[in-house]
Chains A and B, each alone.
Chain A
Amino acid sequence: MNISLMITCLCDSFYPEVGEAVVRVLRRTGAQVQFSPEQVCCGQPAFNAGYHDDARRVARTFLRAFQDAEYVVSPSGSCAEMVRENFLRLFDESPEELEQARRLSNKTYEFTEFLVKVAGVTAIDGRFAEVVTYHPSCHMTRLLGVMDEPIQLLRSIDGLELKELPRAYDCCGFGGTFSVKMPEISEAIVTEKAENVLKSGARILVGADMGCLMNIKGRLEKMGHNLPVMHIAQVIDQAQGGK
């Protein structure tokens, strides 16, 4: 099985260690992992802000970078959703590109979804003795429809105690450009999320999308709480023995 990694801008520039964890976990399934340096970004920020010409330009580069891939796997439900659903809207006036987008859409997966549905990893063989809570990201759950896979994988880890996050499905308030266009409202929303994370009683916050995690972690730190935040790939990687 050949997996082409969609690393996402955030993981590449801010959280390269998440990308490395993703690679290790995927390799342990027996897959070949490839990385095309021709990729940059899926174009989601511009798409959501209404700048579809700009988004298309960036998405086109992305489309080319992955055209020969067997599977495309992303450690972000939001970016996977952009490629899987919104590329079809973005290229709907150019039949040739739409066909490419459709092919890409059919082979693109979010990381936990790929593990469970394609690689057949339904339980993690390993131990991670920590009390964690899980934030389900909006695009990943509501728009991409990946809800149970990360929970299933976390629950299977020996020693891991999963605490309920109050109002887990409420948005964290990031919303891409929303966070800088409507800073007061965004702050109020993320404050509520951060308080709920603290209320959960967990010692680590786990998520499957670094956008949301960066937002929640940034707020927690500003509020004076140094609660560690981990991508689910890092949790699985550590359970499996890390490096």
Chain B
Amino acid sequence: MAVSNRDLHDRIQAAFRHPFLRKAVKSATNTLRDRKAVVAHDLGHWQDWRAIGQQIRDHVVENLDVYLKRFAANMTRQGAKVHWAATREDALKIFMNIVDSHGAKLVLKSKSMVSEELHVNAVLEERGIPAVESDLGEYIIQLAGETPSHIIVPAIHKTRGEVAELFEKDSGEKQSPETASLTRYARRKLRQMFLDASIGVSGCNFAVADPGAISLFTNEGNGRLVTSVPPVHVVFMGMERIVPTFRELDVMSKLLPRSATGQKITSYMSVIRGPAAAGESDGAKEMHIIIVDNGRSRILANPKYREVLRCIRCGSCLNVCPVYRQVGGHTYGWVYSGPIGAVLTPLLQNELKDWGETVNLTTLCGACTEACPVRIPLHEMLIQLRLERTSQGFTPALERTAFRLWAETWDSPTLYGLMMRAAAVGQFPFMKDGHLEGGPTPLSAWTNSRYFPPVSGRTFRRRWARGEV
């Protein structure tokens, strides 16, 4: 669990010390984005679908109070208990009260980014209550003692061999590193736990305000089991994860799986409208929904970043991001990785000093903005966050001075001309075979991996002035 972003450069180094991770992340993201390209094309009018997705999510974000109230009223009428949590502490208090009142011995979970954000597992473990992730990828990284490195594919960085080793350690038996055999092992272990758990915890892909429902998209079916086998079902829901009706859910069910995994539909889509009614054999006896704010209303109040609340956590911005693809998710230091993480982390932490450096994990190529199914202008938000970080004085003094000097020189054609002439002379000690090598920082950061061209002794402006052009 990272506590701040101060160690960003250490984490980058860690990623580079793990060539398997880098190879696995690159290969998996390539598969995901290629599959997405195919199914987005199959649907036709992909840009129109994105526009509709954006409209729906914008409408919800702008009318969040209305839809949340409607959702809460409908769910309450249908027998669920709805709780409101303003902060992380509030959410955990509500949750632990539920856990305690049932004397829970084992909590089984289905993937929920919000519960990662709140560190639910750590709090349960402190009380000696095992919290087991039932999503295969999450289960694997839990055994490894790690956090997710991708929003949709949490164990994207693990090889089959590494998974076999983790299962060997868990079982004390030899494991074959074949996918089928590994899946069999996980299934056997998890099936029993579904039966033993007293509380099932799930996330919420989308809540439906009218008539009141929560929906879960899963590929392993664990979402169905975790919400219906244990007697108590607790939902952690980010307060923005809502759509007005099933008509809008239909649009999301086209956008989300296509963007996330390149699937036309997910294998399982569960819609839950409340606990089991009298006489019904399926379903939890008790259903709790914890609607979590934890910084979201602060983002809602800021027109510069409000659009980020459209996010449907599909992870497609990760798959196309040149930076994420090289270093994987742990480099970002918190729950959310990739471009969306680089934007969300400092906003949810409300802190640009220690967490703000994630905004430098971008080349501003705009691939994230182009990939986003609900058209969040991620690269523009990254520039905006950089601006706030510099305005608040959190960038290095040397960098601030460099840009000030740059501006003083570059806003005068005369000074600029003199500077370039000086550079053309001053570069000689670093010249080798027609390019620059070594040199002082920041030039050396470039020349360590690339040749740098020399400044021309006869710049374009001089040639033009002499009538040579």
Contacts and interface: CB of A to CB of B under 8 A. Distances in A.
Contact of B365 (A138, A190, A218): A138
A182 B323 contact: yes
A39 B390 CA distance: 26
Interface string B394-428: 01000110011011101111001000100100000
Contact of A15 (B12, B442, B450, B453): B453
Contacts of B451: 217-218, 221-222
B369 interface: yes
Contacts of B435: 218, 221
Contact of A142 (B370, B385, B441): B370
A241 to B, nearest CB: 17
A4 interface: no
Contact of B362 (A58, A175, A180): A175
A16 B407 contact: no
Nearest to A179: B446
B386 interface: yes
A12 B370 contact: no
Contacts of A7: 460-461
Contacts of A217: 451, 453
Given A13-B420, A47-B383, A50-B387, A40 B456 contact: no
A13 B458 CA distance: 8
A170 B412 contact: no
Interface string A36-62: 011111010111111111110110110
B6 to A, nearest CB: 15
B322 A142 contact: no
Given A13-B420, A35-B464, A173 B322 contact: yes
B469 interface: yes
A37 B362 contact: no
A139 interface: yes
Contacts of B369: 142
Contact of B407 (A9, A15, A54, A171): A54
Nearest to A14: B453
Contacts of A15: 453, 456
A183 B364 contact: no
Contact of A16 (B322, B370, B403, B459): B459
Contact-residue bracket for chain B = 35 or more
Interface string B454-469: 1110111101110001
A7 B456 CA distance: 14
Contacts of A47: 383
B445 A180 contact: yes
B389 A48 contact: no
Contact of A39 (B413, B446, B448): B413
A218 B367 contact: no
A187 B322 CA distance: 11
Interface in A166-207: 169-171, 173-176, 178-191
Contacts of B407: 46, 51, 53-55, 57-58
A57 B404 CA distance: 10
A179 B441 CA distance: 12
A124 B448 CA distance: 40
A174 B367 CA distance: 14
A182 B15 CA distance: 13
Contacts of B363: 138, 171, 173-175, 178, 186, 189
Contacts of A11: 460
Closest 10 CB pairs of A and B: A50-B386, A175-B363, A218-B450, A171-B365, A54-B407, A138-B365, A187-B449, A180-B442, A180-B445, A16-B460
